[in-house]
Structure 1
């Protein structure tokens, strides 16, 4: 049995975050010590195996409450399911997919609710596994936009392209999301991305506090609303 293993790392935004959702420019770097991994193999039925984040058995009510604080009400299985659905829709009319089924499971050691893009890492890893399993080629610059569409269109999460770009490209990447730099490819809007030499980034440290964190969408959903309402402090920034 052939196992497909695909990873996507956490990320740290260095410059410009979160202007990626507002036609800005950013630089971000991957954090390979933390990652999401997907394992996929051919199977009789299409099977999604729950991970620790999707557990439904707890030692106590306090244990359940702590789990919800860390992982929300849906865990990560919804991310995998939404990615598969969007992948099918994206491929329709573009690629001929074989009809073999698969079993898929994910795991992640990316700290939750500290802004290191744990959710999109699961989606990127799932997309990579699907691309490998179905033996198709999706242009690299298109993949971040496909990942973003999973979150915005399927799950209603306000987000920008930056996290998905760095997780698809890895390393250190400069990104330009200005309106004049955007192109449309495969029906998706894509920015201008340039890999930078990783050795140019020295003495960089990533620090986080899981006790003080909150889900990224809490901040981004409010920021998007303020931008669309035309609040000068947000628009001018």
Structure 2
């Protein structure tokens, strides 16, 4: 019997993951630290999964181009956007998901599917666009195979990070936690927690604790990462300067958590500025990139607190002095050629059952 269009539509799973803003503590999440991050509804990635006779990873018509009008245009595209789109991300999470299920004796039904994706998260913007695609795809796989209840919420960020590691992407768990949970999350990645539990301690918070925040980014890709950073190597070798500064960055997330609970936004602004200043001390201007630093400088020129949302490409700003300061920020960004918009925090994406399990675990 033929499947009707309505029935076919009901068989398609659509899952979404939002862009992430690191409010405090980054990049200490890569170094056993802490982080305070939230997901934003302004930008997201969506993945669709539908049953199909063969397993198919469908290329995106824009992000996975393989046909070009000419050789110069192919080269121009590679120079601006790199070699890879989202197909490799979808393939990697399929592999990691399958291996995890095998290793944990989670049986999967013998059915195939087609995966496709779309995203409006600006490329190289420090908003965690790649992991959003992986996170949304993992959510599809959990529901297609009906194993969501068998893979703990706390472990899902590890699967996403492992998929990205398959592709040589170097990152920490912060982004993936914020995208798996949605909303606002406080995270503690202390080595003791990681060794004992296999994951950090993650605490969802009320998004209404956040003050109005503003996102600043450039239409052009981030210029961070063109100069290799030695911070990781220095941290591994026990460099006193790096280890002490990274502990200060981690402490800012803990202090910021307390400030949020008290709605002390003056202190929050001070912590945000300090977070960026410590990053700058450790990594240096050549690694951070002139365009990224300019975004911070524009915000600070009007008295707004500002820091990177991630490793560069976008900045999150807080205007503790109110509307007049916001207007000055908008004007300053416009004159500098930057986009600025108030962020809309995404709600928690966890089910009631998942939230209940987290409460019981805590």
TM-score by length of 2: 0.60
Contact map agreement 1:21 1:161 (CA 8 A) in 2: yes
The 1:166–1:77 alpha-carbon spacing in structure 2 relative to 1, beyond 3 Å, is: same
For the residue of structure 2 that corresponds to 1:96, the secondary structure is: coil
User: Aligned to 2:181, which of 160, 169, 177?
Assistant: 169
Determine the C-alpha separation between the residues in 2 that align with 1:220 and 1:192: 31
Pairwise CA distance, 1:203: 1.3
For the residue of structure 2 that corresponds to 1:17, the secondary structure is: coil
Q: Which residue of 1 aligns with 2:295?
A: none
More helix by share: 2
Q: Which residue of 1 aligns with 2:164?
A: 151
For the residue of structure 2 that corresponds to 1:5, the secondary structure is: strand
For the residue of structure 2 that corresponds to 1:206, the secondary structure is: strand
Structure 2 unpaired stretches of 5+: 1-7, 246-362
Q: Which residue of 2 aligns with 1:233?
A: 241
For the residue of structure 1 that corresponds to 2:214, the secondary structure is: coil
Q: Which residue of 1 aligns with 2:97?
A: 87
Q: Which residue of 2 aligns with 1:132?
A: 143
Determine the C-alpha separation between the residues in 2 that align with 1:68 and 1:147: 25
User: Aligned to 1:46, which of 44, 55, 71?
Assistant: 55
Alignment of 1:55-74 (within 5 A): 55-74=65-84
The 1:97–1:108 alpha-carbon spacing in structure 2 relative to 1, beyond 3 Å, is: same
Contact map agreement 2:186 2:205 (CA 8 A) in 1: yes
Pairwise CA distance, 1:155: 1.5
Determine the C-alpha separation between the residues in 2 that align with 1:177 and 1:91: 24
Pairwise CA distance, 1:222: 4.7
Determine the C-alpha separation between the residues in 2 that align with 1:25 and 1:219: 26
TM-score by length of 1: 0.91
Pairwise CA distance, 1:225: 3.0
Pairwise CA distance, 1:173: 0.5
More strand by share: 1
Contact map agreement 2:32 2:191 (CA 8 A) in 1: yes
Pairwise CA distance, 1:62: 4.2
Pairwise CA distance, 1:94: 2.2
The 1:8–1:221 alpha-carbon spacing in structure 2 relative to 1, beyond 3 Å, is: farther
Q: Which residue of 2 aligns with 1:5?
A: 14
Q: Which residue of 2 aligns with 1:99?
A: 110
Q: Which residue of 1 aligns with 2:292?
A: none
Offset from partner CA, 1:129-157 (integer Å, 9 cap, x none): 110110102111110011111122x1122
The 1:81–1:6 alpha-carbon spacing in structure 2 relative to 1, beyond 3 Å, is: same
Pairwise CA distance, 1:208: 1.1
Pairwise CA distance, 1:63: 3.0
The 1:69–1:94 alpha-carbon spacing in structure 2 relative to 1, beyond 3 Å, is: farther
Contact map agreement 2:53 2:112 (CA 8 A) in 1: yes
Q: Does 1:15 align with 2:15?
A: no
Pairwise CA distance, 1:33: 1.3
For the residue of structure 1 that corresponds to 2:14, the secondary structure is: strand
- Greater mean deviation of Cα atoms: 63-72 or 125-134: 63-72
Offset from partner CA, 1:22-81 (integer Å, 9 cap, x none): 011110011111111101100000011100211111233443234323432121111100
Q: Which residue of 2 aligns with 1:25?
A: 34
The 1:23–1:208 alpha-carbon spacing in structure 2 relative to 1, beyond 3 Å, is: same
Contact map agreement 2:46 2:119 (CA 8 A) in 1: yes
Determine the C-alpha separation between the residues in 2 that align with 1:4 and 1:220: 40
Name which one, 1 or 2, has greater alpha-carbon Rg. Answer: 2
